[in-house]
Amino acid sequence: MTTVKAQQRTIRVPLLSKASGQKNVILGLIMLAALLAVGAATVQGFLSGSNVRSMLLLGAFLGLASVGQTLCALLGGLDLSIPYLIGSANIGTLYMISSGVPAGMAIVITLVLGIVVGTINGLISLHLQNQALIVTLGVGFATVGATQVLTSAGASNAGGTSGVVPDWLANISSLSGETLGLPVPPVILIWLVLAAALIFIMRSTWFGRSTYALGGNRSAARLMLISEPRRWVTVYALSGLFSGATGILLLGFTGGAFVRVGDPYLFLTVAAVAVGGTSLLGGRGGYGSTLVGVLVLIALTSLLVGYGLNNNAQQFVLGLLIVPLVGFYARNPHIRQQI
Amino acid sequence: MKQQSRFGRFTSKSAYAFAAWGLLAVLLIVCAVRAPYLFTASGIGGLLVSAVPLVLVVMGITVTALVGSGVDLSAGPLMIFVNVTLVKVLFDQQIGSPVAVIAWALGIGVLIQIIQAIVITVARIEPVIVTLSAFLALSGINLVILAQPGGQAPRWLAEWGSGRSILAPMTIVLITAILGWWAFTRTQLFTNLRLVGSNQRTAFVSGVPVTMIRVVAHGISGLLIGAGGLAYTGQIASGNPTQGGTYTLAAITALVLGGISLAGGRGGVLGSIPGAIAVTLISFTLTTFSLGSLASFVVQLSYGLILVAALLISVIIPSLWRKRQEVKAS
């Protein structure tokens, strides 16, 4: 009798946790639908082809930048170096291209450097897990400072990097980009394919499952012979890689290099993860949730632009709205329940 | 003998501040070589004028770190919010009397921090998300209020920044804050605050009003950050909406240098004040090298490196210390 009961319980637990994860996604989708409905009703041309395209394009950049943040959050860490790495990759790549390095080569070098900085983040914060936030902030600031020193040493106009972005890169990520004749910038498709792959990897492979296991319960994961140092460093290295990639792709979007191009992503990546319902304490959520979070944030931003708010006013409103959005489902338990 | 043991207790209790004092000593030696005029009365006065806003902000985030809310990312933009509202809103309304200006600066700091505390404790949302949202919202509203650096501070406040003697108003503000802190550490409130920071559950089951303590802690932090905004306005005698992020980073660097535990409960201004002065001295020292247009990038680079290095030191030194004590004991 007791064995039957125990069996029932072991079956029920994973089902329940899966259902609660889906609840967040469904809540997010309802929020997205509501935002789109409000937008369509109050802003002219909100659901027009060109606006949807630009929303998806901005979503693709945010989505790519949030890959690393999602993985770090699943382990219970955060990566605040993302905006600085994006800015560094942005000016670094164009600097290399304009000083004669072939574009393909420059991109590979930038991506490798992204992985290197991410690995440094991972190695340092491995033993300072409560301070991952500060470690990544410091490493990010050092990186952006070093990049600016290197790219503007000897130049007459410090801080500015001029150069010509290759046409194919501009086509990948600019609003007028085309994929095989269709008026869809390739970066959107790259993002969607990557999202599908990532959701699959996190659900069904050893890498994905062991990441959840570590974030959920460190000691239990250790007993399952999951190497915490290896996983932690890999995740931060991936975050560095995707930050670098986002920085390069933003080059094609803006057509020039600007070190502060990454600044909005400091807040937006964390917000996308939190609004999607991924716990910042680790172990719960996933890239599917972040996908919904990204779409909600982009729709919200687009709505605020539609209401005629400038960049600074948008920041203000977005900052005020995120707390209630997160409060919807990502609340901590009361101390009474924590004892 | 008793004296010695008391000294021993003091050093082991204050080992956390090692990195800050060490760096401060190194920087002072560098300054003595490269810029001896720093050690004249006007040199020290000038250094204090440039350090006081940061010192006050760091004292502010020390309180929130002690009570266990982690790093307050919104401190820099909050200080700037006080600055831009003082020079734009109050000055435009012809409000310039010291009482009104000081009340506004301190009041708005306390109010915004208490709102954040209530969201953290009552709505129970992760402190990181709350302070990051406040960072974004305040940075945005700062630029809405004042689009670019400019505006004017009331004359009595603007004169603070020109104080080139040691006993300037800025020094008096600093001394008041330090004496206030000393009195604050003598209270039961401070003990409870550290208890809540080091173990919230223990505090809760011991009957400490956890929520109340955390709200009060954030209020005190707001008071100090508001005073920081006042001092900053005095320092630059105008408004500058763009420096929020930089101040947050500088404050966090000083906090980490000062060895304050970001998990809560451990540390004090004995570490964070020298930390803040050291951070100010870094940018001062760098200006003595002729870096030209690269200066701001080098400052950025060194803040980042020092932040990481300080973090490593502040973790490694106490653990080495503990090991030595264990070896001694065995």
What mean pLDDT is predicted for residues A32-58? 89
Q: Report yes or no on B315 lying in a domain.
A: yes
Q: Report yes or no on B31 lying in a domain.
A: yes
CA neighbours closer than 13 Å in the CB half-sphere of residue B266: 16
Q: Report yes or no on B289 lying in a domain.
A: yes
Decide if B176 touches A, using CB distance below 8 A: no
Residue B236's pLDDT is: 87
Q: Report yes or no on B9 lying in a domain.
A: no
Instruction: Mark B134-156 as b/e (b = at least 16 C-beta within 10 Å).
Output: bbbbbbbbbbbbbeeeebbbbee
- The domain segmentation of chain A, as residue ranges, is 23-29+49-329
What mean pLDDT is predicted for residues B52-76? 93
Q: Which CATH number fits domain A23-29+49-329: 3.40.50, 1.10.3470, 3.30.310, 2.40.50?
A: 1.10.3470
Tokens for A42? 């109050």
Decide if B301 touches A, using CB distance below 8 A: yes
Rounded to a whole number of angstroms, the distance between the first and last alpha carbons of chain B is 23
- CATH code for the domain of B297: 1.10.3470
Considering only the beta carbons, identify the residue of B139, B142, B308 that sits closest to A139: B308
Minimum Cα–Cα distance from B77: chain A residue: A316
Mean pLDDT of chain A: 84
pLDDT at A7 over 50: no
Tokens for A206? 């050893």
Q: Report yes or no on B3 lying in a domain.
A: no
Closest CA to B146 of B241, B238, B242: B241
pLDDT at B189 over 70: yes
Decide if A309 touches B, using CB distance below 8 A: no
Q: Please answer whether residues B48 and B109 qualify as being in contact, where contact means their C-beta atoms are separated by less than 8 angstroms.
A: no
Mean pLDDT of chain B: 86
> Among residues 24-83 of chain B, which lie with CB inside 8 Å of chain A?
70-71
Place of tokens 């973790």: B315
Considering only the beta carbons, identify the residue of A134, A317, A338 that sits closest to B256: A134
Which residue range forms the structural domain that includes residue B199?
15-325
A–B CB contacts, 8 A cutoff, strictly below: 168
**Considering only A42-51, A230-239, B33-42, which range has the smallest mean pLDDT?**
B33-42
Give the model's confidence band at B58: pLDDT under 50 very low, under 70 low, under 90 confident, else very high: very high
Which tens digit of pLDDT belongs to each residue from A264-274? 898 899 989 98
Instruction: Please count the structural domains in chain B.
Output: 1
**Considering only A79-83, B33-37, B222-226, which range has the smallest mean pLDDT?**
B33-37
Distance CA A329, CA A277 (A): 7
- Amino acid (one-letter) located at B189: L
Q: Report yes or no on B2 lying in a domain.
A: no
3-state helix, strand, coil in chain A (%, to 5): 75, 0, 20
ipTM of the prediction:
0.83
Decide if B201 touches A, using CB distance below 8 A: yes
Query: Cβ separation of B125 and A330 shorter than 8 Å?
Result: yes
Higher per-residue pLDDT: B262 or A320: A320
Decide if A278 touches B, using CB distance below 8 A: no
Q: Report yes or no on B223 lying in a domain.
A: yes
Please, which residues have CB within 8 angstroms of residue A157's CB and are 6 or more apart in sequence? none
What is the percentage of chain A residues whose pLDDT exceeds 90?
A: 38
> Among residues 231-290 of chain B, which lie with CB inside 8 Å of chain A?
249, 252-253, 256, 262-263
When scoring A135, A156, A236, A335 by the number of chain B Cβ atoms within 10 A, the one with the most, hence best to mutate, is A335
Please, which residues have CB within 8 angstroms of residue A97's CB and are 6 or more apart in sequence? A103, A106, A163, A164, A165, A166
